[in-house]
Amino acid sequence: MTTLSRPPLVGAGRNRVEGPLKVSGRAPYPNDFSYPDMAHAVVVGSTVGAGRISDIDPVEAERAPGVICVLSHLNAGRLERAPATPLGVSPPAPLQEDVIHHYGQHVALVVAETFEEATEAAHLVRVSYTPGETVLELDDPRAEHRNNPWGRDAQRGDVAQALESAEAVLDQTYLTCDNTNNPMGPLTTVARWEGDTLLVNNSTQWASLEQTSLAAAFDLPQDSVNVMAPYVGGGFGAGLRVWPHVVLAALAARRTGRPVKLALTRPQMFTACGHRPKGRQRVRIGATRDGRLVAIDHEALTATAIDDDNFEPTATVSAAAYACPHVSTRDTQARLNIPVPNSMRGPGAATGNFALECAIDELAFELGMDPLDLRLRNDATTHPQLGLPWSSRALKECLVHGAELFGWSRRTPEPRSMRQGDMLIGYGLAAVGYPWFRARCGARATVRRDGTAYVCSAGTEIGNGAYTVFVQLSAELLGLDVEQVTFGLGDSSMPVAPQTGGSGLTSSVGSAVYEACRRLIGDFLDLVAEDTDSPLRGCAIDDVEVGAGGLRRRNDPAQAESYADILMRHGLLELTAEGESIPAQAQELGMAPAGAFGAKYVEVHVDRDLGRLRVARAVSVIDGGRILNEKTAVSQIIGGTVGGIGMALFEETVSDAGSGRIANATLGDYIVPVNADIPDMEVAFVGAPDPANPIGTKGIGEIGLVGIAPAVANAVFHATGRRIRSLPITLDKLL
């Protein structure tokens, strides 16, 4: 079967197959699900940042109109903490103790006939506290520090000696702030029980994990839980964990014997489902005068919650970014009384890349070099840490092609040297790499007698174009028209799939689809192996190719037969096969599996008198392996660029210094970019299909965001001569 022997780099830019459903309002999002006799639940949040609950009085709330019950740690009953996940431990089970770890922590749940009645009654739950000491800052001496929390610290060579002997040394500190995932649709859970079976519609990016976690929480067999999320209205990482409110919705449904809907409010989204944690990074770089890197020392301190963990490897980005003989990267987490941080688009890499790429730019200025030349001179042609060749790496091509598209040669090197009227013009760039990720995954493929196919896997669609690219891929692998294929996603009863996050879904699910389709073709050949009426009799899988709704001999295409004819002749309505993809490790492959790479170029305009800043242009050139759908891929990079501009210029979750209360927990106060803030954008793809997986793809969900913030900061320096080392870059920092 040679369908993918020579795949094109960029696939057809087809419209989204689910587009008509979405624009007509027929795509079922979690908040759209409603069931007979459904009740509504609203969480009650703590109004202190640390301490203990001394008393809960639910009486007034219980007497309010429409209230069915009020749950707290006094009557919730025992719930088990879910098992650890590939991203770390699961959140603690809710309503299990009287200890308060952060402002906004769930302390009670009100269930009522309507959302409005539940909301009103939630204000009537009287909670008294014995306040404790609130630890909120990274430098607070009371904060517990966790060194190397994920075992990913890297070391090669003798960094201290190399820095001491380097001809040029840069030593700077960079600050990033809390950002909050803000998908348009607040996370919603609808839970119901049918006997001992739990059925959940939920805003999740990981249906398979949610099934496992809920089964553990309620001590159920795994197949007694079904999590359904056919469409999720964005996530950006917010849906990567089984948050306490999900467990509470299921608990309320079991307690009341009725379906229960729990929809978080926008302010609750700031305390209940994660955020990008603030951090401080120190980067030291040593180099020769001609720009050869000799040492990189990168240490990062980021925030995490008192009683939870967050996978946020930040300094790790420097381990394999450049060819450098002496490198040390170290991550530390400080435990604080804050809502649980969680992955936000480009987790760890977005913040780590900001520090590294700003430092590289600063070093270029100190050396009097073009920042592009410095990066090209130190390109890592082999994996610096593993010593293996990359499965693919077109970073140099990204940098060179991006410079051509952007017009980098027009840049004059001196800061404040480019002007347009009252505007200072700045050019900035950043080189980007996002870590490789692929996970064990399953898929199921069925071909029916009418010539159509149904393929499925439990991965979720969060607006990333998953339905479309998997339909395209399945059609190609089976030799069908796109219109003949339907793809199923977002249901835990489907073959297990990893999270939609980490830029690994397409390669993981796509590789499983490849295996399922290959097995299915093998099963068709088994059917006709001794069939004297079949032109495919005796063929092995490598003897055939797909096309025109069936199979044909590779060396004699006229000898062909449709799937429908084979099924009809053998009295079958359909044929189904399952496939599983298990990623190989680097040593097995003999090469280092590569994530995506990219180059980001931006132009900024800064009012020389007022400090008003605008991103005027952005060019992204991406090595994303094989691009299955150019249209949806470009959309991913554009969306990531918008998020990167938000990180660079606007987004900051502000907390009260005493209690940890989020002070700007609305979309009126937490500023995200709008259309007027977004520049002209150009996206291009370079490179080749990646051989580390059978379909040649890499993930591009995060690479669009990573690198935008440092490119903006570097452009601001070029425009103004002011080096801003803390995000966001706001007007006050430029005056």
By three-state DSSP, how is residue 277 classified?
A: coil
Residue 539's alpha-carbon distances to 421, 447, 478, 697, in angstroms, are 72, 19, 17, 29
Instruction: Find where tokens 């969900």 sit.
Output: 701
528 three-class SS: coil
> What's the distance, CA 163 to chain centroid?
35
Give me the torsion for CA of 493, 494, 500, 502, rounded to 10°: 110
702 is catalytic: yes
Owner of token pair 């429409």: 66
Would the CA dihedral through 429, 433, 434, 438 be positive or negative? positive
Long-range CB contacts (< 8 A, 24+ apart) of 632-635? 632/13, 632/16, 632/464, 632/465, 632/468, 632/469, 633/10, 633/465, 633/685, 633/700, 634/13, 634/683, 635/465
- Cα dihedral value 110, 125, 118, 74, nearest 10: 10
Distance, CA of 356 to CA of 126 (rounded, Å): 49
User: Could you tell me how many helices (H) and strands (E) the chain has, helices first?
Assistant: 17, 28
Calculate the alpha carbon distances from 385 to 85, 132, 283, 321, 629 in Å: 26, 45, 18, 10, 33
CA distances 403 to 138, 362, 531, 721, Å, are 39, 19, 60, 22
Is residue 474 a contact partner of residue 455, using CB atoms and an 8 Å limit? yes
CA–CA dist 300, 359 (Å, integer): 14
In order of 135, 554, 716, the CA distances from 339 in angstroms are 12, 59, 32
Sheet of strand 99-100: strand arrangement = 99-100, 51-57, 126-131
Is the Cβ–Cβ distance between 276 and 350 less than 8 Å?
yes
Q: Considering the candidates 210, 357, 461, 702, report the single residue annotated as catalytic.
A: 702
- The β-bridge relationship of strands 106-112 and 39-45 is antiparallel
Which residues are paired to 172 by β-bridges? 283
Coil, strand or helix at 676: helix
Report DSSP state, residue 83. P
Indicate the residue type of 708.
Answer: I
Q: What is the DSSP letter of 223?
A: G
Query: Which 8-state DSSP code applies to residue 648?
Result: I
DSSP bridge pairs for 127: 56
Tokens of 689: 């299909």
The CA distance from 627 to 469, in Å, is: 9
Residues 268/45, Cβ–Cβ less than 8 Å: yes
Backbone angles phi, psi at 400, to 5 degrees: -70, -50
Spell out a b/e string for 74-87, using b for 16 or more CB atoms within 10 Å of the CB, else e: eebeebeebeebeb
Retrieve residue 305's tokens: 């919650």
678, 645 contact by CB (below 8 A): yes
Phi, psi of 587, deg, nearest 5: -65, -35
Query: What's the rounded Cα separation, in Å, for the pair 375 and 373?
Result: 5
β-pairing, 99-100 with 51-57? antiparallel
Active site residues: 702
